[in-house]
Chain A
Amino acid sequence: MWVIYTLNALYFAALLFLTSLGLNIILGVMGILNLAHGSLYAIGAFMAAWTIIHIVTKAPVFFLYVSLLSGLVLAGVVGFLMEKSLIRAMYKRTLEYQLLLTFGALLLLEDVIKMIWGGQAYYASAPFDLLGKVDVFGNVYPIYFLFVMFITFLAGLFIWFFMGRTKLGIMLRAISLDREMATGLGLDIGRLSTFAFVLGSGLAGLAGALVVPTTPALLGIGMEPLILAFIVVVVGGLGSLKGALVGALLVGFTRSFGIAIFPEIELPLLFLIAGIILVVKPQGLFGR
């Protein structure tokens, strides 16, 4: 049973990590808190669900999993459009405007999603059903959850490698550390910022896409992940990927074991953890 509790914790942590990853990248590189992050998550979810529903009887099984990426792609596209039209205009302005713009985008996108996909629920459980279950020490566990953890691991690995080892990634990190100096060194801030925003948006969309096989895409699906991503960012420290990972694991394990022992705990627990961290270390675990 403890093995299952651990797996549950890892699954929750994986989704939490992936959801906050995009937010953190945008925050770190551009200093922008994208309040529409949940909307991009939702767009990823709806797109993936819609795609799966339409190809489920027509395409080979492998494509069902590839079609999850459609969520990532559409979210990235929307992020690109957002950055080019709105965020771009705000670089010279102050923080208030950036936050308000993304807040406006959140409201707008919520209804755009409704205009495109309507108010009904989209069930796309084929990827979940097809992978079946595995026996873990006498208990049954869905293989799809392991798949999600694997994808998240890959995403995390990719980002770690990208940020640390590739030229593009190092440039992004440079911007996040010292924007002025980076400009002075000749980096194309504009292009790089767009790239960072698209990357962050795509990751949000991927997170949304990965949940639809187990939960229907519904209006408002992005609201809770946004808050959860915030908490992880607060706990882990702004812009810190290591912090996001540790924060996600901390929250995931406390929640999974906590629910078994103190059933009332749930959401306030996450805020409690955040609160304790903030009192002890105000900039988060690994923040600057």
Chain B
Amino acid sequence: MGATAVSVGSLGAAGKAIGQPKKPIPTTPVKIATVSFLTGAAAAPFGIPGYNTFMMCADVINKEGGILGRKIELLSKDEAGGVDAQVKLCRKLVLEDKVDVVLGYISSASCQAILPLADELGGLIIAYDCGTHELMEGAKSPYEVPKFKLGFRSKAHLGIDNIGLALVIKKYFPKIKTIAGINPDYAWGRESWQIFEVAMKKLMPQVEVVKTLWPPLGNTDYTAHISALMGAKPDIVHSSLWGGDAVTYTKQAMGMGFFKNIKMAYSRGEPYPQEVGKDFPEEQIICCAGTHYFLYPPHDKSPLNKWFVTEYNKRFGKYPTYPCYHAYQAIYAYKYAVEKAAKAVGGWPEIDDIAKAAVGLSFKTPSGTLTIREDHNAIEDVLVGFTKLTPKYPFPILDPKRLEVFPASQVNAPVGIKTVDWINSWK
């Protein structure tokens, strides 16, 4: 299966008809470098699922004939080793290995350091999983776009998760009085909380923040934090904890009776009910980093999602989580951009042509539709749900009766406006 936005057959005729200088499409493979964490704590939740998906998609695309007839040759690299090592590696990939595109980067620090290299080196770089809203934003609103001519992000940033949570809380819990936050103490956690807090202040100004905690990444003992939160008695607690930290925190909180009176709102909680299993508490608020959920859109409505989930499960024995969906988006964004550009210039497009074609690119994904705007950032709808045990699955799923989907326009700042400024401008 797998979707194709442009049918390959029409290209030859279109190219000849335009009469532009035709570059014959090479028969050599197209080299795609993928960089994600294959070591360290981010490997299990993000890097390896991403790596798996890249491999799966490349395999599927190749079986269907490749990109414009060229097979994909995947070079998979490890995002670990420090940011300076990544800068050197990216330069090597673009200048020495001469890859056609670099897809990758989970850590915001990597993205911040690497995206500028796209223009520096004249290579196409698509960030696939990093969340920082600051990546493409300028210093003040309005800011010039795009920030990087050849750098893209094939997903929306963390703004959608945290705005989505605030919108759900306003809709379902309009009477709460207090909230708190426990976020990992680094840029990701700080930024996630920042957006959430700004949105909550705007939407529910009467709600008071009673505690904000900042455990370090990789902390394994949350008992002190859990007790501190319970002592402050918030109604809802926001968290952008991820991976092993999210699971550890939830389990320890379960053991200490946290969930009796307090609800959690996880900004990227989608993978964790599956990881914790049937003990994961019900009625927790989970955001899916977009609308990436193995059960959304429902399989009868989205054959593409059905195929994606089934194929991933067949190959890797688990249901795909949001990093998988992000990886799909990145590699298909490149494929469709190339095909769109090829249609325009006839023959294999140059990097500038591909970059031009990527702007405004909109295509179907297993989660819905992805659109890349002129600021080179993608926008997505966001899904927020409530955990619920059902007999069909050995872990809580998101209650199908209360799947809140907010459209992209409601949770993504307009082009050129900083997210924080945009939220503050809401009426």
Contact = CB atoms under 8 A, between A and B. Distances in A.
Judged by CB atoms under 8 Å, the answer to whether A and B touch is yes
A218 B244 contact: yes
Nearest to B248: A215
A256 B224 contact: yes
Interface string B67-98: 00000000000000000000000000000000
A4 to B, nearest CB: 5
Contacts of B255: 128, 133, 140-142, 144-145, 214
Nearest to B225: A259
A216 B244 contact: yes
A263 B213 contact: yes
A145 B223 contact: yes
Given A128-B251, A260-B231, A219 B41 contact: yes
Interface residues of A, number: 44
B45 interface: yes
A219 B220 contact: no
A125 interface: yes
B34 to A, nearest CB: 15
B407 interface: no
A4 B279 contact: no
Nearest to A260: B228
A215 B215 CA distance: 15
Contacts of B43: 119, 218-219
Interface in A230-260: 255-256, 259-260
Interface in B204-248: 211-216, 218-221, 223-225, 227-228, 230-231, 243-244, 247-248
Contacts of B38: 119
Interface string A263-274: 110110000000
Interface stretch (A7-15, A20-28, A96-104, A157-165): A7-15
Interface stretch (A61-69, A172-180, A185-193, A220-228): A220-228
A139 B41 CA distance: 32
B228 A142 contact: no
Contacts of B44: 119-121, 216, 218-219
B41 A218 contact: yes
A267 B216 contact: yes
Given A11-B223, A129-B279, A219 B40 contact: yes
Contacts of A220: 39-41, 218
B248 A216 contact: yes
Contacts of A263: 211-214, 228
Nearest to A129: B279
Nearest to A258: B224
Given A123-B247, A216-B248, A142 B256 contact: yes
A144 B256 CA distance: 11
Interface in B30-59: 38-41, 43-45, 47-48
Interface of B: 38-41, 43-45, 47-48, 185, 211-216, 218-221, 223-225, 227-228, 230-231, 243-244, 247-248, 251-252, 255-257, 260, 275, 279
Closest 7 CB pairs of A and B: A140-B257, A142-B255, A215-B248, A119-B43, A121-B44, A8-B223, A260-B228
Given A119-B48, A128-B251, A219-B41, 4 more contacts: A111-B39, A119-B47, A121-B244, A139-B257
12 contacts: A1-B230, A4-B256, A7-B223, A119-B39, A139-B256, A141-B256, A214-B248, A216-B244, A219-B41, A221-B218, A256-B227, A260-B224
